[in-house]
Amino acid sequence: MVTAFAPATVANLNCGFDVLGMAIAAPGDEVSVWFNDANTVRIVEITGDEGRLSYLPEKNTATGGMLTLLQHVDCQRGVDVRIAKKMPFGSGLGSSAASAVAGVMALNRLLGSPLSKKQLVSFALDGEVIASGSRHADNVAPSMLGGIVLIRGYNPLDMIELPAPENLFCVAVYPKVEILTKEARNILPKEIPLQTAITQTGNLAGLVSALYTQDFSLLERSMTDLFAEPYRAPLIPHFHQLRQLALARQALAFGISGSGPGMFALTLTHHAAEAVSFTLQQFLQDQQIPCMTFVSTINRSGAVIVS
Amino acid sequence: MVTAFAPATVANLNCGFDVLGMAIAAPGDEVSVWFNDANTVRIVEITGDEGRLSYLPEKNTATGGMLTLLQHVDCQRGVDVRIAKKMPFGSGLGSSAASAVAGVMALNRLLGSPLSKKQLVSFALDGEVIASGSRHADNVAPSMLGGIVLIRGYNPLDMIELPAPENLFCVAVYPKVEILTKEARNILPKEIPLQTAITQTGNLAGLVSALYTQDFSLLERSMTDLFAEPYRAPLIPHFHQLRQLALARQALAFGISGSGPGMFALTLTHHAAEAVSFTLQQFLQDQQIPCMTFVSTINRSGAVIVS
Residue ranges matching CATH 3.30.230.10 in chain B:
2-162+300-305
Which residue in the set A17, A193, A205 is minimally distant from B190, CB to CB? Answer: A193
Residues of A in contact with B202 (CB under 8 A): 18-19, 150-153
* A218 touching B (Cβ < 8 Å): yes
Q: Which range has the worst mean pLDDT, B148-152, B185-189, B252-256, B268-272?
A: B185-189
Average pLDDT over residues A139-168: 96
- Among B17, B157, B198, B215, pick the best mutation site for testing chain A contact (most A Cβ within 10 A): B198
| Residue in A30, A128, A220, A229 annotated catalytic | A128
Residues of B in contact with A200 (CB under 8 A): 197, 201
Residue ranges matching CATH 3.30.230.10 in chain A:
2-162
Q: Is the N-terminal amide bond of B165 cis, ω within 30° of 0?
A: no
Measured CA angle at A22 (ends A7, A160), to 5 deg: 115
Give kind and range of the element (H or E) at residue B193: strand B191-193
CB pairs under 8 A between A and B: 126
Which residue in the set B153, B197, B218 is minimally distant from A202, CB to CB? Answer: B153
CA distance B298 to A265: 38
Pairing of strands B253-256, B263-267: antiparallel
Sign of CA dihedral A46, A50, A53, A56: positive
Query: Which amino acid appears at position B236 of this protein?
Result: I
Taking Cα atoms as reference points, which of A204, A294, A301 lies closest to residue A10? A294
Residues of B in contact with A189 (CB under 8 A): 194
Taking Cα atoms as reference points, which of A218, A95, A212, A203 lies closest to residue A161? A212
* B196 touching A (Cβ < 8 Å): yes
ipTM surpasses cut 0.85: yes
Residue ranges matching CATH 3.30.70.890 in chain B:
169-297
pLDDT band of residue A177 (cuts 50, 70, 90) is confident
Fold assignment, B169-297: Alpha-Beta Plaits (3.30.70)
Q: Is the N-terminal amide bond of B261 cis, ω within 30° of 0?
A: yes
| Residue in A3, A9, A63, A181 annotated catalytic | A181
pLDDT tens digits for A215-268?
999 999 999 999 999 999 999 999 999 999 999 999 999 999 999 999 999 999
CA distance B137 to B140: 5
Residue that wins the pLDDT comparison between B147 and B91 = B147
* B19 touching A (Cβ < 8 Å): yes
Residues of A in contact with B199 (CB under 8 A): 153
pLDDT band of residue A288 (cuts 50, 70, 90) is very high
For residue A114, what are the CA distances in angstroms to A10, A103, A110, A307, B136? 29, 15, 10, 18, 52
Right CATH number for A2-162 from 3.40.50.300, 3.30.230.10, 2.70.70.10, 1.10.3720.10? 3.30.230.10
B68 pLDDT more than 70? yes
> Which pTM does this prediction carry?
0.96
Give kind and range of the element (H or E) at residue A17: none
CB contact under 8 A, A202 and B227: no
Predicted pLDDT at B121 = 98
Pairing of strands B2-11, B20-36: antiparallel
pLDDT band of residue A120 (cuts 50, 70, 90) is very high
Predicted pLDDT at B124 = 98
Fold assignment, B2-162+300-305: Ribosomal Protein S5; domain 2 (3.30.230)
Which residue in the set A189, A202, A221 is minimally distant from B194, CB to CB? Answer: A189
Residue B109 three-state SS = helix
Residue A220 three-state SS = helix
Measured CA angle at A278 (ends A272, A279), to 5 deg: 90
pLDDT band of residue B133 (cuts 50, 70, 90) is confident
* B282 touching A (Cβ < 8 Å): no
Instruction: Check residue B298 and report its DSSP letter.
Output: B
pLDDT band of residue A86 (cuts 50, 70, 90) is very high
CA distance B205 to A151: 9
CA distance B153 to B134: 14
